[in-house]
Amino acid sequence: MNEPTGLEHLTPVRITDTSATERGGFRKCRRQWFLMTVHNLDPMRGNVHFFLGDIYHVALQWYYLEIQAGSDHDRAAEVSLDKYQVAYDERCAALKKRLGIGWSLSQDVYREAGELGLEMLQNYLDKERDDPLFDEVLAVELRVNVPIRSPKGRRVGWLSVQTDAVGRKEKRLRVVDHKTRSRTPNTAHVDIDDQVSAEAFSWWLYSGEFPEEVVLNVSMKKEAGPPRLLKSGKLSKDRNQGTTAALYREAVAQYGLVPADYADIVRYYEERELRGDDPLFTRIESFRTPGQMAAFERDLYEEWRDMRRVAAHPEQAYPSPSEFNCPSCPVRNVCFTIQDDGDVEAVIKVGYVVADPRR
């Protein structure tokens, strides 16, 4: 970690490479991308969403590395849980050192995130025991550097792609991207999702074998349990709860409610479970074609030109305000102060550090 200058929002940078994740950040909001990716600004207090996703990825990485090495499920699960705890302890220690006495104000948030992640992991490992993602694991956390080329074939930059896992399922080659989400993803979006396209493209260049499937492997940020009891005394009918039809029926009986009032939501969970869906996990399978890969390479060049231009001209790093982007944005205070023509330098210096580049 380094101290910021306070002038990051005004400082141009010449970039030579990017990553699949960074491209997604650029499309989401240019200003957030410029501040967090180009200048690596990170809130002094850390980011609990990155924290949870990071340690959860570490645990899945070690699980599949063990499976790839020939371990059985029980051994791989034990290693995964141990590595999760190590990652949690290490990152908490780093945050404690970084925040000093301020850690006492934040530690409960990170502890709760760690407990949620541990339950998510335990549930995921149970799912893996009964319905494994792969019959054979070929690669785990494979990083490939892909040249970004102009239409004339000249290399103009590099795209760094880290694929979470690659393997075979029922003899089909599949490239998998692990995600943690608060909301159930739109299945239609996976057909054009850029992250998995990049992973499929990089594996194709790396191995020479075209993947037959891409899979978005989503773990929901939820705890398994009964439906929520509302202040009204009724049960929540939110379809994104981490519950089941059986738990719903038990809750109806426990609170002496009328079963007919909850017939529709119970039927929803029953039908979902019959389809093999899980309220805690979603594995969305899709595919890519050579034509899509050609379009990916073409669009990559055009987007890279935009990214270089914005990095070199900070005034073009305009924000993309929305009810989805802004509430949880780690650089929201900086952005608001820019828009308000306030003392941006002071906000950056007081509230942020310069973190190591994320890849």
What does the domain layout of the chain look like in residue ranges? 22-131+326-354, 136-221+280-300, 227-277
Residue 124 pLDDT: 92
pTM (2 decimals)?
0.84
Fold for domain 136-221+280-300?
A: Lambda Exonuclease; Chain A (3.90.320)
Mark 1-31 as b/e (b = at least 16 C-beta within 10 Å).
eeebebebbeeeeeeeebbbbbbebbeebbb
CA distance 255 to 132: 37
Pick from 322, 77, 126: nearest CA to 224: 126
Residue 359 pLDDT: 55
Q: pLDDT tens digits, the chain, 359 residues: what are they? A: 789 999 999 999 999 999 988 999 999 999 999 999 999 999 988 889 899 999 999 999 999 999 999 999 999 999 999 999 999 999 999 999 988 888 998 999 999 999 999 999 998 998 899 889 999 999 999 999 999 999 999 999 999 999 999 999 999 999 999 999 887 777 778 888 899 999 999 999 999 999 999 999 999 888 778 888 998 999 999 887 778 888 899 999 999 999 999 999 999 988 887 776 777 888 889 999 999 999 999 999 999 999 999 999 999 999 999 988 898 899 999 999 999 999 999 999 999 999 887 65
40 CB-near residues (< 8 Å, 6+ apart): 354, 355, 356, 357, 358
Residue 279 pLDDT: 76
